[in-house]
Amino acid sequence: MLRCANGSLYTGSTDNLERRERLHNQGKGSAYVRSRGGGVIVYAEVYPTRSAALRREVVVKRMTKAAKEKLILEKAKK
């Protein structure tokens, strides 16, 4: 998940976090992030296959913002 400059959260998938974050901040990523001034990655999960990652992405995208914030906080505690 990427926290946009306006505080909103963007969920996506990639096989290269650093490159994806850089592209978003160069205005070459998603239109959503581009329109919100870029951002910083605050949460990530690793999956063995692209298929598994995309299934998890769907689940996370359906979560409320509060549930996403909880994931971020729990990861920070570890």
Among the ranges given (5-14, 52-61, 69-78), the one the predictor scored with the smallest mean pLDDT = 69-78
Token output for 43: 């949460």
Q: How many domains does the chain have?
A: 1
Residue 33 belongs to what domain range? Answer: 2-77
Q: Measured between alpha carbons, how far is 33 from 3 in angstroms, rounded to an integer?
A: 9
Q: How confident is the model at residue 77 (pLDDT cuts 50, 70, 90)?
A: confident
Q: Measured between alpha carbons, how far is 56 from 36 in angstroms, rounded to an integer?
A: 24
Whole-model pTM over 0.85: yes
